[in-house]
Structure 1
Amino acid sequence: MISPDALVDEMVPPSTFDHVSFDSYIPDPNEPSQAQAVAKARDFVARASKLRGKKKGFFSRHKEPEHGVGLYLDGGFGVGKTHLLASVYHSMPGPKSFATFVEVTHVVGALGFTNAVERLSNHTVLCIDEFELDDPGDTMLVSRLLTELSARGVSIVATSNTLPGQLGEGRFAAQDFLREIRKLSGIFETIRVDGPDYRHRDLPPAPEPKAEAELIATAEATPGATLDSFDDLCKHLATLHPSKYKALVDGVSLVCIDGVHPAPDQTVALRIVVLADRLYDADIPVTVAGSKLDEIFTEEMINGGYRKKYLRATSRLLALSRFAESKV
């Protein structure tokens, strides 16, 4: 059982982003929005740090704290939003937290809402990556959390592939859901970050799958590699809560998957999305036999309400598969 303190302490950027900074972000000269995003992120850090650094005078000690500032980085895949988010985190004084949207809901669920607010309310900043709303309950939960934390002086920066006023668009139409969306929109200053996906600039299509015998030989010759059939892997993922996927990939050097084929349904597909995120966070290469990695999510899935999730996962899996090819 993980202690409440440990849960909060684990809210840090993935190891892939341990050493990133604003200086190491190289804006695309053809996309002025990227340089603007860097400037806005630096300004956010200056304003948020100043807010938390203010001393309370004798006559102001009973006043309510100033609201935190908010920044929302919206854009496509592979334009460096997570790089900028992690740079904000590294630039801010502690205590501070970084987590995906899903991880935030897991922490609140584990701690309880009131306890989560208390434990995060002394933080300088809460960084939320991949702000996606798949469930009205999660939306209202996070909306309440951010409203409470902002009112207590916690600054908030988030990334997403959808503008805050459009979160949940095409999925839910309930009035209470839409009301929560409008609340969230009011917290953030929105900055658009455009550009091509850096993971695939000037790169060839998805690597061809290996033959089964070659895949097995690669797995056997690589210390720390895993080898699973696609169907067995999907069945195993179904037995675990998505919050456990991070532990599942700890210590793995290479993921080898045999018999890859299109996901049979949305439930399986969404589990693969979470696994892809955890593999990408840990920078673990992936190599497969069977179908190509860009064929896991069907055209019907890509054109549905989870389109952005599936496109992001495909982008990340292809990057990891090219990484695997380069190591061979």
Structure 2
Amino acid sequence: MQPIPDYGLSVAEQLRAMTEAGTLQPDRYQFDVAEKLDRILTELKARKPAAKKSALGWMFARSRKPEIPIKGLYVHGSVGRGKTMLMDLFFKLAPVEQKRRAHFHEFMADVHGRIHAHRQKLKAGETKQADPVPPVAAALREEAQLLCFDEFTVTDIADAMILARLFTELFARGCTLVATSNVEPDNLYKDGLNRGLFLPFVDLLKKNVQVSTLDSPTDYRLEKMESLPVYIAPLDDAPKMMDIAWQRVTEGAPEAPVSIQMKGRVIEVSRAANRCARFSFRDLCERPLGASDYLAIAKRFDVVFVENIPHLGPEKRNETKRFIILIDALYDASVRLFASAVAMPEALLTEKKGTEGFEFDRTVSRLFEMRSADYLELHQSKRQNHDGQVT
């Protein structure tokens, strides 16, 4: 989570310098992935800049020879093995202006928003193109030659059904994909509804990326963890302790309801002060909220309280999915989290099976890291309120 120093011109060079400086422990598994990332850097540097395309270039895509994409990389492995750090190094060094790094949920929320906007134009008679995917893919490719996804995962059927068509278009236009994940490609959307319709995307993905495993025996996140009193379990004394923490971070500022405007609807926040918000688990995970809602909350607030997190059994599958996405959004935005729960993170999920079991390993790791000194330092360096005071 610490800023990445500029040590060299390749991922492997930077990794080597960091180990020699004592910042990292030598890890041959990480070096193996670094060399694969450097192969992509070399090919990106060798590629000539593409000529600027017309905004309507998608109309003529079938008459042009498809651009051959640079084969990307899909890195999977257990949590805490350094996948995100390696992506940090790679993305910083990538020698292209048109590059985009995003959490996968954020990217797909953007895709669905663009598809909706195109359909509205079709309905209004502003376009005659009935299929929104080609123009949406063309616009995405104009913005990014290189797409980088942290924690690639597919849990939503709407995402699953569109991925093969979307990435067929993106790869045909020369887009390069680099992604990290906790699961190998063949286990994406495992046990998902109508998974057979999703499998063409798995085949497409494996043709366009090199698949690599990063499974170092060391979990570096837990090794460097320094727990701070921001996760309270069990719930016996939680209300009092959460109240004390709330008073401290808000500096006694009066509470007031806040409304976050979304596309066509509003997220109501009943308890907010300064750039802090206080929710119950029920507020956030027992209502029909999604990735775009959690991203909006993470953008609006620097500190988020989540109270009364229960045990998550099979009967709470939807709530578990929302909780996973919520923690992803808060973590990626360096939001400071205060939470109270019935149990410690590793004991919240009562039955580990299917997609939620894989995904919850990441959630547990992130809940631990969000309590660490490193995470809080990153939060303090990135998040400042409008008066310039660190929250």
Pairwise CA distance, 1:277:
0.7
Which residue does the alignment assign to 1:3?
none
CA contact (8 A) 1:17 1:83 kept: no
Correspondence for 1:50: 46
Note the C-alpha offset of 1:168.
3.0
Shift of the 110–216 alpha-carbon distance from structure 1 to 2, 3 Å rule, reads: same
1:221-300 aligned at under 5 Å gives the runs 221-223=248-250, 224-235=275-286, 238-263=287-312, 265-294=316-345, 297-300=348-351
1:71 aligns with 2:76: no
Task: Work out which of the residue numbers 28, 32, 47 in structure 1 matches 2:28.
Answer: 32
2:256 maps to none
Letter in 2 for 1:102: H
Is 1:315 the counterpart of 2:370? The answer is no
Shift, 1:107, TM fit: 2.0
CA distance in 2, matches of 1:79, 1:307: 18
Confirm or deny: 8 A CA contact 2:103 2:152 kept in the other structure: yes
Write the distance in 2 (CA, Å) between the matches of 1:149 and 1:134. Answer: 21
Cα shift at 1:278: 1.3
**TM-score (structure 2 length as normaliser):** 0.67
Matches within 5 A, 1:99-110: 99-110=102-113
What's 1:83 paired with?
Answer: 85
Q: Structure 1 residue 201 and structure 2 residue 230: aligned?
A: no
Out of 217, 222, 241, which is 1:214 matched to? 241
Look up the SS of the partner of 1:257 in the other structure. strand
Whether contact under 8 Å (1:20, 1:86) holds in the other structure is no
CA apart distance, 1:313? 0.9
2:134 partner amino acid: T
For 1:95, which of 95, 98, 102 is the aligned residue?
98
**Partner of residue 153, structure 2:** 132
The structural deviation recorded for 1:316 is 0.5
Structure number with bigger Rg: 2
3-state SS, counterpart of residue 168 of structure 1: coil
Equivalents in 1 of 2:105, 2:2: separation in Å?
Answer: 19
Amino acid at match of 1:261: P
Conserved? CA contact 2:225–2:369, under 8 Å: no
CA distance in 1, matches of 2:332, 2:232: 23
The CA RMSD measured in Å over matched residues stands at 3.3
User: 2:43 & 2:374 partners in 1: Cα distance?
Assistant: 42
Partner of 1:4: none
Tell me if structure 1 keeps the 8 A contact 2:327–2:363.
Answer: yes
Q: CA deviation at 1:125?
A: 0.6
- Once the two structures are TM-superposed, the CA of residue 216 in structure 1 deviates from its matched residue by 0.2
Partner secondary structure for residue 121 of structure 1:
helix
Amino acid at match of 2:219: D
Q: Judging changes above 3 Å, is the alpha-carbon distance between structure 1 residues 55 and 111 closer, same or farther for their aligned structure 2 residues?
A: closer
Cα gap change, 1:248/1:151 in structure 2, threshold over 3 Å: closer, same or farther?
Answer: same
> How many Å separate the matches in 2 of 1:34 and 1:133?
25
Cα pair 1:47 1:69 within 8 Å, conserved: no
What residue identity is the alignment partner of 1:200? Answer: L
Residues 1:159 and 2:186 aligned together: no
Q: Distance in 2 between matches of 1:304 and 1:262?
A: 17
Kindly tell me the number of residue pairs found equivalent between the two proteins.
Answer: 305
Q: One-letter code of the match for 1:154? A: C
Q: CA, structure 1 residues 108+260, in 2 after alignment: closer, same or farther (shift >3 Å)? A: closer
Give the secondary structure class of the aligned counterpart of 2:177.
strand
- The TM-score, its normalising length taken from structure 1, stands at 0.79
* Per-residue Cα deviation, 1:137-157 (whole angstroms, up to 9, x for no partner): 523422222222222222111
Q: Please, which runs of 5 or more residues in structure 1 have no aligned partner?
A: 1-15, 57-61
CA deviations over 1:16-66 (Å, ceiling 9, x no partner)? 78757642685765631111111211221221232244789xxxxx75432
- Which of 183, 192, 201 pairs up with 2:204? 183
**Shift of residue 243, structure 1, vs aligned partner:** 0.8
AA paired with 1:283? S
> Structure 2 CA distance, aligned partners of 1:204 and 1:87?
24
Q: Give deviations 1:251-276, integer Å, cap 9, x for gaps.
A: 53433333332246011111111110
Q: Match of 2:152, SS?
A: coil
Is contact 1:228–1:256 with CA below 8 Å preserved after alignment? yes
User: Is this contact kept in 2: 1:31–1:194, CA < 8 A?
Assistant: no
Q: Secondary structure at the match of 2:69?
A: coil
Q: Provide the C-alpha distance between the structure 2 equivalents of 1:294 and 1:31, rounded to a whole number of angstroms.
A: 28
Is it true that 1:114 corresponds to 2:95 in the alignment? no
Structure 1 vs Structure 2: percent identity of aligned residues? Answer: 24
2:359 maps to a residue whose letter is K
- 1:150–1:17: structure 2 CA closer, same or farther, 3 Å change rule? farther
Deviation at 1:212, TM superposition (A): 2.0
Change (3 A) 1:55 1:268: closer
Separation in 2 of the partners of 1:273 and 1:174?
Answer: 21
Which residue number in structure 2 is paired with residue 59 of structure 1?
none
Which amino acid in the other structure matches residue 330 of structure 2?
L
Quickly say closer, same or farther: Cα 1:204–1:155, change in 2 above 3 A.
Answer: closer
Distance 1:63 1:286, change over 3 A: closer
